Amino acid sequence: MTCILCFVGLFPLLAAVLPTPAIVPVLLYIGLVIGSQAFRVVPRAYYPAVVLAMVPNLAAWGSGYVDDALSAAGTSAARVGQSALASSGVVYDGLHTLGNGAVLDGMILGAMGVFLIDRRFLRAAAFCMVGAGLAIVGLIHGDEVHVFTNSRVALGYALAGLTCASLCLLRVPERVPDRDDPLDHAATREDGHRIADSQAEAVVGSPTEKKAAPV
């Protein structure tokens, strides 16, 4: 239902018809459900990646509140100036840059976090390069969609990708699934990732840990 409303653009109509006090509790409930589900359906090892994916949305929320407060005061961030805001402890420029394209940026950062946790550095490098491509055209971290909108952010993603690719030279073994987390094993099987024999033994447990069958 939500997808249909978004696709046909009926949310502005609902916002105009329904009063704000009636909409806010519904949105709050949906946010709580989505947030709890994000931690309930993923392996525990990926919890940091889930939090990392939320950071751009929190930045967008924070920069939006700053914009609303300045607008209510009859001014804007451009009029106040970045230096004046920074001297008051408000890092508006960083919040605004990180929050632009928060949905796409959260997906990129979350994927990077997952593959870094799994120590699959080539896949993490690939998503870094995707982030660089999206940033260079302004789809993330940009005020508008235009080539070379924010080249510094794109360069940062590219350097992160090169760093992740260089980590492959260390030949660090991939992460062993947590034997106490069923979701971790299910995600491993769905991904088709094959565990080495020594790692599988560590996951299942040594033979001495198995209980002897009753006589």
Give the dihedral sign, CA 75/79/80/81. positive
DSSP letters spanning 29-75: HHHHHHHHHHHHSS-GGGHHHHHHHHHHHHHHHHHHHHHHHHHHTT-
CB 118 within 8 A of CB 174: yes
CB 70 within 8 A of CB 80: yes
Q: How many Å is the Cα radius of gyration of the chain?
A: 22
Q: 10 CB contacts (<8 Å, ≥6 apart)?
A: none
Rounded to an integer, what distance in angstroms lies between the CA atom of residue 12 and that of residue 31? 19
Q: What is the pLDDT along the chain (215 residues), one digit of tens a residue?
A: 666 666 676 667 777 787 777 777 887 888 888 888 888 888 999 999 999 999 999 999 999 999 999 999 899 888 888 888 888 888 898 999 999 999 999 999 999 999 999 999 999 999 999 999 999 999 999 888 888 878 899 999 999 999 999 999 999 998 888 888 888 877 777 666 544 444 444 444 444 444 444 54
- Please tell me the predicted confidence (pLDDT) of residue 174: 87
Which pair of structure tokens corresponds to residue 123?
């896949």
Query: Which residue carries 């999206």 as its tokens?
Result: 134
Q: 56 CB contacts (<8 Å, ≥6 apart)?
A: 98, 99, 101, 102, 103, 105, 106, 109
